[in-house]
Structure 1
């Protein structure tokens, strides 16, 4: 199959109205006289009597066209590409004609660029356009479907910082994509400055950063492409065009199933711009694009690409504590931005939108900054007051805990006293039977007293249990929410582990008296090291203190998960995975609820199937907390766009479906939405949950959930979806009732007839012949002989399709 992607000018057709019309192109002070004359000539040409004249219909005026085209090219290439924000007056826009395949072949001219992703050609008669030729040999159907979806998205993009895509033409073995033409890239600018050894002006660097960040923010904010929007995945200087006047920067190189076209290889050209998570795990996201933008800014600043790897394997370089060497960056503002971008955790990097806001702040006048400084000082004062209040509350909590502890101690002492008294009374009864006989009623009195004392002991035990539960809850809150620890009160080994004092840990780790020591919360040295993320002490202590729990039932692995220390978790997993705290939570559940994707991804292979006391898995807890990054780590969206929600719907896991709907609803894969997956499988409960959010969506072939359920003979699902999706047509003009008929589903046909029967064209013999040929005579007779219902309740379509083919 061949595809053509065409890039060109946006244009307008000029029609002759009832009165004589004139055409006056706007001319700025910078417009050359030659361009003005050319535009007037073009204007006069457009006023030739004709019903409709477009660029491809000017061949009858070929000589005049050739004379003016050379004068209009700069105007077309420059003025029509101007940034929307800078347009002070109206600009002339030329429409891109609907190219045919044959017409496109005739227009192919010089090769502008060649890369693994395709070849870019100029067009003979459209100097403002280019066409990219993409070879499709060796791609499977899934890759082709992905390309189609991406191209459909690209054609709808409209932003001054994103390359405009106009048309796609398809043939047997190629895709051709028509776009706007730009002859200069940021890579060319870098090469010029490197050759001349002249630094790129700071103003230009900040302009690149601001405009590219704005374009990326636009892509990430697109609706209908998932919560992340459209991720670029290949941002580098060669994919950033520069306008002819050097003022505006446009990103290109989007889409076209990049992994499939490259065969999954990573070239020496693209590797320096890849984020650590891409190199290590092939995980792309908006944050990985921001890393690539940071590399571009670094290269613009010092005229050299950063060499973070220095020939080493990424897994040996990007480890805990890694920091970039930015000594060559002398501008303080740019250095501060790069320090925020070049961090290993994607979620800690600034977003594209955040970069735009930061750069907008950089342009604020000093007087305005003064007002903002005062406002920030007020906020700081408020935060300090809040912190002081929080510290006071912590002190009160500690005092309350002490009071409760004293109560428990007193109750335990009272219980011990009562138990001793009971034992004494029982002994007296056993050792003095004759005295008991003589006294007569005294044994019964003592027995009554014993029963009363035992009841009182039971009450004491219940009170102690309630107080212990309250203490556990309070101490759990203190453990996880209060970072304040009295370090001076810690035993020496625990203190050394907490502060990462390796020398002391090594010295004391072999002392039996030190191993197993605990602080006031029941935490061991291993737990403290895990909580702080200190891998060295953890490795020394893990075999000596593994499996121990603090007062809340937390292991060292749980503390590492709560602090999001994946490397420490890897050390502890073989020794402590699968254990649960007092409230039934695993380390993975703790990481999931806190939103720690890195720790969760490490723990998932060992604990992802475990449930808490309510039957919730870590995936459900992460989804309920709204932590989409953790959801992706536990049940990632695959390369075809199939999400965790879709998989849960397919297996009818209603608990997971309910939890995942808020974070993954309305996602679309080539096989459709989660609702469509549930409908295909006939899962009524899942369909009922998903209907309010995903009804009326279509799969890659244009079929709805109702059509799929009708084809699969799921009557109850059809009944649920009929009111929401009835009367919708697929791309061939077929409603769900026809899908049911072609599948031989008589009961479904009868069920849908009242809603969609009017869409059946009873005069269409071809349709009925097909049913007869398939052996569905009963369905054909029913549709032919039944009285056609009215269409008053169907607002989607007023007429039946002309043919069912």
Structure 2
């Protein structure tokens, strides 16, 4: 927003006799309150009886919503139609926005209330007059081909909150204009009444979806209220889902005018696509015989539809009777067939009864044999129990001998024939590790833990060779953040230790916050550490087991290799992890382009070219944003002319950053492309409207040299 001293956002382009206010002048002129609408409070201007000022309070909104309000008000100053409230000037003062507009004395809401008090209906002629003018204003707002006075194309505008309170009327109730059109929903909701849902279309209440057809529904509800002097109650705010079912029709019994009743049947339709356009309503309001023709056509269509339904029902009934006759004949045939089957089954039952008697005799014979086998099994069970007892005794003897052997080795004896060991390079800790004696390891763990024997082994490598996972944890324990011995070995590039520890600790992730070479990580792996430090040998060993794993931000080892410009590791990991995106949608190629890692960009192009992050940004856009012409050259062939979610290209980003070399490279490919959304650039308070080109952006930024490059390319 503006600073506390105030600023002028925009002025109408054809004000002529309308004065140009400064913020101080406008604040001095503010007089009595004229009324409070859905978007703000309106004030009279002392000395200017034909003008009013609307104050919009923005302190409860986010920066994005405030910018959206500013963009919409900028467009309002360019609109010109007799039935759309004219916006002459927009000024801001901190969190307040003031809009200078034409002054009107009344709203349609107050007009309806006046007729209610007098118990005087509004004439059919006046209702059609209001319909014609408001439909004309909506037709202008909905028109996608309208242009400003300077020839600039203006967007389609959906009112989005049409109610009697935001239709203004002249003193004689003969001229009506729309206000509060096309503003963000959050601003309208901030001042909207509890009865706003009475004018909301079914698709807005049920699906929160608006279109020009939603404005037509709201206009129909207003016509209903003008005709009946009562607010429409087609559905309440909490039962719209059950009220608006497929065969729903509006209850128009309170509408006395035949023409208005037929017109409302034409407007208040559930299907938005079936509703008339604003232009059609203008024609119907001007020539009311068309409404009568519409009613007669609808009646004929209903009669023809009923006749068609009658023929279909009659044919269905005939078909059903014939079908039942055929089914009855079929059932009689089936009954005769079943009777024959029953006779056959009786014969089968008699035969099977004889078979059952024979089987019973055989069962008695086999029972005698089973009794004999049971006696034999009892003898076998006794022998098996004796063997189990003998086996348990042998296991106890073996365990005792093994414990004696472990104690002898721990005391310094060789395994071969238990000859006393003369190799002084072996510490008691190493002996305990080899035999897997955890108690002895705990006893000697603080004595020469990192000492090597003559073969180059430490207690840790011996434990890993022997596969003693618990003893590895005792010697080099996993810390509070989950960092393992394998991860520490990978970080220091100790490929030998990495190879030994892989079978014991591969695939683990450290859930705590870990700092590696300037990066803060959670859920890091050993491979990610090797990639950040550039340890190629360790990474080769780990790649088979941890390739494709991600940290908490969905970052892979390949992405960190690209970030730290370790080209050899990029080539090693590319086939395993290429094409993966992190939780922001970014790829290794984008990180390589960000840090101008040209060799890595060349390698990754095959796998990750043309990929976009969540904002639609490509690697080429990143390179242009970071002023890396070398990477722009490499990426240009694959990713030129691609747009982000706002319709911005790499050339537009290079233009905003005044990156001359990148602009020269991109101008021939992307010079004529236009944006698709209103955008505020980073660290820039300017709004760049949709349909802007790179030249428009350069002109707004005042970059003459960039504009010269783009102009020359345009001439070519």
Compute the TM-score of the two structures, normalised by the length of structure 2. 0.45
| Higher normalized contact order (CA 8 Å, seq sep 6+, divided by chain length) | 1
Q: Which one has the largest radius of gyration?
A: 2
